[in-house]
Amino acid sequence: MGKRVAELRPLTVDELREEESRLRKELFNLRFQKSTGEIENPLRIRQVKKDISRVLTLITEKQKGTRREV
């Protein structure tokens, strides 16, 4: 399962950028597996995309000094 925002929020911007990089590499590998037909869980692609989006949202929030209340 993907990472929850509560797990990501305490991280610094640099740590979030590292997480983004790791997720993008994972997404690349999953897409490669999909194209070669060896992917085990195709839904993982969707999860990783959403995780990347969460990380980017948190980076933007931290840079602007805003925090979105749920």
pLDDT confidence of residue 5:
87
Chain-centroid distance, C-alpha 63: 17
Q: Write down the mean pLDDT value for the chain.
A: 91
pTM to 2 decimal places:
0.86
Q: What is the CATH number of domain 5-64?
A: 1.10.287.310
Residue 17 tokens read as 């950028």
Residue 2: count other Cβ atoms within 10 Å of its Cβ.
15
Over range 46-57, report the average pLDDT.
Answer: 96
pLDDT confidence of residue 2:
65
Rounded Cα–Cα distance for residues 14 and 20 (Å): 10
Domain boundaries of the chain, sorted by first residue = 5-64
Over range 45-62, report the average pLDDT.
Answer: 95
